Amino acid sequence: MNRHTKQIIGLASFASICMAIGMGLGRTWVVGAQDHQPVSVSIRGFETQPTVEIAEKMIPTVVFVENTSYVRRQRGGSWFSDDDIFDYFFGGGQQPRQRQQPREEEIPTRTSGSGFFISHDGEILTNAHVVEARRGTENPRIVVKTQDGKRYNATVLGTDKALDVALLKIDIQNAPFVKLGDSNATKVGEGVVAIGNPLGLEHTVTQGIISAKGRTRNEVGSGDANLVAAFLQTDAAINQGNSGGPLINFRGEIVGINTAILAGGQNIGFAVPITPIKQILNEMRAGKPIRRGWLGISTIDLDHDYQDALGINQGALVERVEEGSPAAKAGIRRMDIIVGLEGNPINTDTDLVEGISSHREGDTVKLEIIRDGRRQAVTATLGDRRNIDPSNNLPARQPETGDNLRREPAGTINLEKEYGFTVSALDTQTRREYAIPDSITDGVVITNVVPRSSASDRRLAAGMLITGVGAKEIKNLDEFRAEVRKYSGRTLIVSVRIGQGRGRGFTDPESVPLPAMSANGQ
């Protein structure tokens, strides 16, 4: 082997060693870098987006629902043809014609929504408001249009306005139908798909998430005191015409019926959860009325101020007990806090509404209440929720007015300094000044409210009546002062009545808390 060859071999060997060392170092560096990578999420099993498969399989289960109500109205001749003076001057000087008698006619009014099959033989779920008669008419004509364009006359088997749900039936066999899921198991942030017919655009698919659970009728914007559902909120786009359509999870299960949107919002929609609907399906199939339980109270959710005032962090505060109601017969009182129903905890007023509504008229239920700081059991036999009169059984409201007072160390109270308002006795002068009728004999009158005070923040105003402090009703100024002194700086709940204008009386008392003001104003 000559010298040149040895040099080549040596150089090659050296290069090989360097490459080996370099690869070893490189591998060590790569492994080290991989050990310090940020956390990543890998979605496996979705070769295509899940909404594609959901849309392909679920669209055929969704139907278009058309409601034709025939509205009666009186119709006569034109405005001018019924005018004698017009006929005389513009009718060639002839004597006025005999007026045409108005006649009654029926005008068709059409609205539409969505629905979906829940059985192979043509059962369809939709919203009750989609199929209800319009403008006081009776027996609207309900037509269902399936994806293939066929139209069927539908029969309404049953409705439940408390859940805003209706069960329809059409004459069809082998219809593609859905699986009803468990809305209680849904999680905030879970992906969902809405399918429906918004603004007549049939079988529109939108995607979003569950934005929130347990939305109350007040949050949804409904003043209907009969509604019992705690709605699911979603950002899947919902518009007019989506009502009655399904809200579907990524397993292809129905978790809600799309029902409402928040006016002025952007993709803030609401769906009735499917689980309570499943519980009444057999009753609707049989055409039986849903006789939900009714207790006969209105309640307030315990926000921070109420919790501070009462020393209780969960439950439903009784604001009003209807005379002669099951609650009144059971001995439930204003300012009781209901914390349990049939052994289940009641955390909010929504829990109580749902719990009572899951029972039926005539059921006897055991309630756990807290009264004056002590727990006790109360038994009530429920009435029929359909007896609710929305005019005098108002839904639970967010507090708008109220007061809180604090005792001075020496026992004297400067209401204006500490809480931002002053009161006076109910006498001839205050009655005349604030138009308080003689029929109202108990309470004290708010005479001034300081701007930017706690009282102002709670919308107290001169002329309002304070008729109670905590659970105690007060008759006069002395009783008011005596009750206020008992609270020693804690948030105090005061019942306030609001004047509705001269000659129109005052509202029922509203119980509202107000936190004590600090030295710098709040």
Find how far residue 128's CA is from the centre of its chain: 16
Token code pair at residue 357: 């509504």
Q: Give yes or no for a contact between 172 and 121, defined as CB atoms under 8 angstroms apart.
A: yes
How many beta carbons lie within 10 A of that of residue 136, not counting itself?
8
| Helices assigned H by DSSP within 105-152 | 128-131
Coil, strand or helix at 180: strand
With CA atoms as reference, report the closest residue to 479 among 464, 494, 460.
494
- For residues 270 and 470, give the distance between their C-alpha atoms in angstroms, rounded to a whole number: 36
- For residues 248 and 267, give the distance between their C-alpha atoms in angstroms, rounded to a whole number: 16
With CA atoms as reference, report the closest residue to 154 among 140, 165, 174, 137.
140
Q: Is 120 a catalytic residue?
A: no
- For residues 267 and 511, give the distance between their C-alpha atoms in angstroms, rounded to a whole number: 34
Single out the catalytic residue among 243, 357, 453, 495: 243
Residue 85 is inside which H or E element, if any?
A: helix 84-90
Single out the catalytic residue among 69, 114, 129, 357: 129
Coil, strand or helix at 244: coil
- In order of 59, 167, 202, 229, 478, the CA distances from 148 in angstroms are 11, 21, 11, 33, 76
Q: Is 243 a catalytic residue?
A: yes
- For residues 21 and 35, give the distance between their C-alpha atoms in angstroms, rounded to a whole number: 21
Single out the catalytic residue among 164, 235, 349, 403: 164
- Residues 6+ positions from 490 with CB-CB distance below 8 Å: 308, 309, 406, 516
Place of tokens 């005032």: 309
Phi, psi of 264 (to 5 degrees): 85, -5
- For residues 212 and 210, give the distance between their C-alpha atoms in angstroms, rounded to a whole number: 6
Q: Is 84 a catalytic residue?
A: no
How many beta carbons lie within 10 A of that of residue 36, not counting itself?
6
Coil, strand or helix at 188: coil
- For residues 174 and 344, give the distance between their C-alpha atoms in angstroms, rounded to a whole number: 42
Coil, strand or helix at 351: helix
Catalytic residue IDs: 129, 164, 243
